[in-house]
Amino acid sequence: MNKKIMQKAAFMAIMAVWIISFPACSSNAAVKQESDNAYEEKGDQDKAAADQTVEYYNQGLIYYEEGDFDLAIAEFTKAIRLDPDYAWAYHDRAYIYAEKGDFDRAIKDYTEVIRLEPNNVLAIVNRGITYIDKSDFDRAMADFDHALRLEPENAWAYNGRGIVYAEIGDLDRAIVEYNEAIRLDPDYAYAHNNLGKAYAKKGEPDLAISNYTKAIRLDPDYAWAYNNRGYAYFEKGDIDKAILDINEAIRLDPDKAWFYNNRGIFFKEKGDLNKAILDWETSLRIDPCDENIEAIADMLEEARLERGW
């Protein structure tokens, strides 16, 4: 199945994320295959029930693509009620639960997929990523190791291991894992981005920029890679290039609050407080519940006082 999504783990101030290729909802070709499998497994006499199951599943995919996660979950749930062994309905419902931040339900659904299909490497890797979201790094690593025992050349699993090592502060081992993911899949943009992030945290902005640039070359719509490269330029003192990159990130994803926060920091460093204030106000308006709201509000208040507002 052709599935991928990004997952991230944030840190304070200018945020640059670890990202893994993360399978999401199925392609139409995959749906056709699911339908064929359902017919074969259930037999012609149950073809109507199989048709209805796949119809619910397909409708869930449509709702997901339209951004209506609650309706997508409802359709996947209908498919599961008709066919409690429909692994991909559990899988894609799990993905959406994770997108909504309901990690416990996501893990429960991924675990059900793995019960139904013990060798489903996709579900094992994705459960590992969800454990990272819960900061349960031991279980995450166990899932990635399990995936690699089943499929020793799975680049996603190596990238996941790299994220775990990065999160626990072992950047050298993280770099080894990311490089192995890239060796296995040289076009793996997210692994290049994560490798760049590891070098950035090691204080090597040039290597970080090189890897972010590779990620962007592979995926020109990769907003987070532009954000991260902008941060690396900012650390090198090249504010103009930093602003150019964050502008592109915002163009690609105008609803990402942290991009405005970061650009505000860049503008403040450049001495343009008016633009900084506007960006921080936009950041807070987009996401008034951001976990770092106090830090953003403090920067905004300080800038307003400096301007005499």
Specify if 258 maps to a domain.
no
* pLDDT score of 180: 98
Give CA–CA dist 264/268, Å, rounded: 6
| pLDDT band of 302, cuts 50, 70, 90 | confident
Specify if 24 maps to a domain.
yes
Task: For Cα atoms 162, 164, 167, give the angle at the middle one, nearest 5 degrees.
Answer: 110
* pLDDT score of 4: 31
Specify if 288 maps to a domain.
no
The mean predicted confidence, pLDDT, of the chain is 87
Specify if 140 maps to a domain.
yes
Distances (CA, A) of 297 to 264, 278, 293: 12, 12, 6
Which residue did the predictor score with more confidence, 273 or 31?
A: 273
**With the CA atoms of 64, 70, 73 and 74 taken in that order, what torsion angle do they form, in degrees rounded to the nearest 10?**
-120
Which residue range(s) make up the domain with 36?
Answer: 1-152
Which residues partner with 20 through β-bridges?
A: 7
Number of domains, the chain: 1
Q: Is the pTM of this model over 0.85?
A: no
Specify if 135 maps to a domain.
yes
Specify if 275 maps to a domain.
no
Distances (CA, A) of 232 to 17, 55, 152, 212, 297: 13, 47, 33, 9, 24
- Arithmetic mean of pLDDT, 118-144: 97
- Arithmetic mean of pLDDT, 250-260: 96
Give CA–CA dist 264/304, Å, rounded: 13
* pLDDT score of 291: 74
* pLDDT score of 6: 29
pLDDT higher than 50, residue 75: yes
Give the pLDDT confidence of 17-30 residue by residue, as tens digits: 444 444 444 443 34
Specify if 284 maps to a domain.
no
| pLDDT band of 44, cuts 50, 70, 90 | low
Give CA–CA dist 256/193, Å, rounded: 18
Q: How many CA atoms lie within 13 A of 41 on its CB side?
A: 13
* pLDDT score of 43: 53
Give CA–CA dist 234/229, Å, rounded: 8
Specify if 162 maps to a domain.
no
Which residue did the predictor score with more confidence, 239 or 34?
A: 239
| pLDDT band of 82, cuts 50, 70, 90 | very high
* pLDDT score of 45: 52
Domain holding 45: CATH number? Answer: 1.25.40.10
- Arithmetic mean of pLDDT, 244-266: 96
As to burial, measured by CB atoms within 10 angstroms (0-12 exposed, 13-18 middle, 19+ buried), residue 22 is buried
